[in-house]
């Protein structure tokens, strides 16, 4: 190779692949090393462990070719996955109810062998937390609790600018902390979890149980804006339960920022305000007064950006 061609090759700008595995779609994209999306797309999630792993390889090869055409060099691949993930080996070690058969998948090993690239894998809530911490609402804070409120409640904890995973990668699950003894059954098998009392289905139930009309999250927020007292009450109940869970987390962690995302948080400032109000009851002044409660900034892109950023993270 001529020296000029050689220099051109080594000087190529590096890019990353981010893959965000969900129960319905796999979102993926090419992301710059500072977290900007260069290209993004999605495919329906295929059924079965091998089919999903095969899809990851196809996505990576597709993006590698795309990068090459743009004169970019693919450096690493990051994957965010539901379930408990061993971030050291990239293996799915816990159940992920929305993706049957996924437990046991050797994501790290399979992709390393197939692509010869550096592969990083972590829990989807952890990578979302990382994205918001680096580029979103948590930027500038060294510690934070990042919560996504949707059909489930996922969360990630950043302490001293690093993801806190727990000794066995099973930590940071605010959704499954119990806030009501012998309360409503949760999908995890326990009762009275934050998820059972504050996620989408509970929220809709608080509205539906008081009126024959029933609607989705957006409908309830629209009704609240129009002055529907029952809708406002449903928002207040769901927000109060979430605040109860967050209150205990504040006592334990004393983070600088709480970032809340997902379908319900997107409903508006009224929800966040109700969470802040609730915290006055559930957290002592010393850990509550200076905490900043914000809505998430990166929306649906947080998963793939965070997955890509994970490859730059040393742990």
Query: Across the strands, what pairs with 31?
Result: 16, 37
H runs (alpha helix) in 136-216: 194-198, 200-208
- Between CA 164 and CA 171 the distance in angstroms is 7
CB of 153 to Zn ion, least distance (A): 9
Candidates 176, 223, 232, 294; binder of Zn ion (CB under 5 A) is 176
Candidates 172, 186, 199, 275; binder of Zn ion (CB under 5 A) is 186
CB of 86 to Zn ion, least distance (A): 21
Cβ–Cβ < 8 Å for 180, 195: no
Candidates 188, 191, 272, 292; binder of Zn ion (CB under 5 A) is 188
- Is residue 105 close enough to count as binding Zn ion by CB under 5 A? no
- Between CA 44 and CA 201 the distance in angstroms is 24
Cβ–Cβ < 8 Å for 169, 93: yes
Give the range of 104-112, 169-177, 228-236, 269-277 binding Zn ion by CB under 5 A: 169-177
Residue 17 CA to chain centroid, in angstroms?
17
- Is residue 153 close enough to count as binding Zn ion by CB under 5 A? no
Helix, coil or strand: residue 267: helix
Please say whether the dihedral angle defined by the alpha carbons of residues 30, 141, 193 and 215, taken in this order, is positive or negative: negative
> Which of residues 63 and 198 has its CB atom nearest to Zn ion in the complex?
198
Q: What angle do CA 108, 310, 174 make, to 5 degrees?
A: 95
- Between CA 7 and CA 158 the distance in angstroms is 39
- Is residue 191 close enough to count as binding Zn ion by CB under 5 A? no
- Is residue 197 close enough to count as binding Zn ion by CB under 5 A? no
> Which of residues 165 and 176 has its CB atom nearest to Zn ion in the complex?
176
CB of 54 to Zn ion, least distance (A): 32
H runs (alpha helix) in 142-268: 194-198, 200-208, 217-225, 229-253
> Which of residues 176 and 288 has its CB atom nearest to Zn ion in the complex?
176
- Is residue 85 close enough to count as binding Zn ion by CB under 5 A? no
> Which of residues 202 and 279 has its CB atom nearest to Zn ion in the complex?
202
CB of 263 to Zn ion, least distance (A): 19
CB of 248 to Zn ion, least distance (A): 15
- Is residue 202 close enough to count as binding Zn ion by CB under 5 A? no
Give the range of 15-23, 137-145, 171-179, 224-232 binding Zn ion by CB under 5 A: 171-179
- Is residue 264 close enough to count as binding Zn ion by CB under 5 A? no
CB of 188 to Zn ion, least distance (A): 3
- Is residue 193 close enough to count as binding Zn ion by CB under 5 A? yes
- Between CA 98 and CA 83 the distance in angstroms is 9
- Between CA 110 and CA 15 the distance in angstroms is 21
Q: What is the binding site for Zn ion (CB under 5 A)?
A: 176, 186, 188, 190, 193
């Amino acid at each position: 190779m001529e020296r000029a061609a050689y220099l051109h090759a080594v000087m190529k700008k590096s890019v990353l692949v981010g893959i965000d595995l969900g129960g319905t779609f796999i979102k993926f994209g090419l992301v710059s090393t500072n977290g900007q999306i260069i290209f993004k797309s999605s495919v329906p999630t295929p059924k079965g462990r091998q089919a999903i792993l095969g899809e990851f390889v196809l996505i990576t090869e597709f993006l590698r070719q795309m990068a090459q055409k743009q004169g970019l060099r693919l450096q690493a691949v990051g994957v965010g996955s539901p379930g408990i993930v061993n971030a050291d080996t990239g293996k799915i070690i816990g159940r992920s109810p929305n993706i049957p058969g996924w437990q046991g998948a050797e994501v790290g090993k399979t992709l390393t062998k197939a692509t010869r690239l550096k592969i990083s894998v972590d829990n989807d809530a952890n990578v979302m937390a990382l994205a918001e911490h680096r580029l979103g609402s948590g930027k500038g804070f060294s510690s934070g609790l990042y919560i996504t409120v949707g059909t489930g409640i996922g969360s990630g904890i950043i302490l001293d600018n690093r993801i806190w995973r727990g000794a066995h990668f099973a930590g940071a699950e605010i959704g499954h902390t119990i806030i009501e003894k012998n309360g409503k059954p949760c999908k995890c098998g326990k009762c009275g979890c934050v998820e059972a009392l504050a996620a989408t289905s509970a929220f809709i139930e608080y509205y539906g149980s008081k009126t024959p009309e029933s609607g989705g999250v957006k409908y309830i927020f629209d009704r609240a804006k129009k002055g529907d007292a029952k809708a406002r009450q449903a928002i207040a109940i769901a927000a109060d339960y979430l605040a109860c869970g967050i209150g205990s987390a504040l006592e334990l962690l004393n983070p600088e920022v709480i970032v809340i995302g997902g379908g319900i948080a997107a409903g508006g400032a009224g929800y966040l305000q109700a969470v802040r109000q609730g915290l006055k009851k559930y957290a002592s002044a010393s850990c509550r007064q200076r905490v900043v409660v914000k809505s998430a900034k990166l929306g649906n892109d947080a998963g793939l950006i965070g997955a890509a950023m994970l490859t730059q993270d040393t742990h």
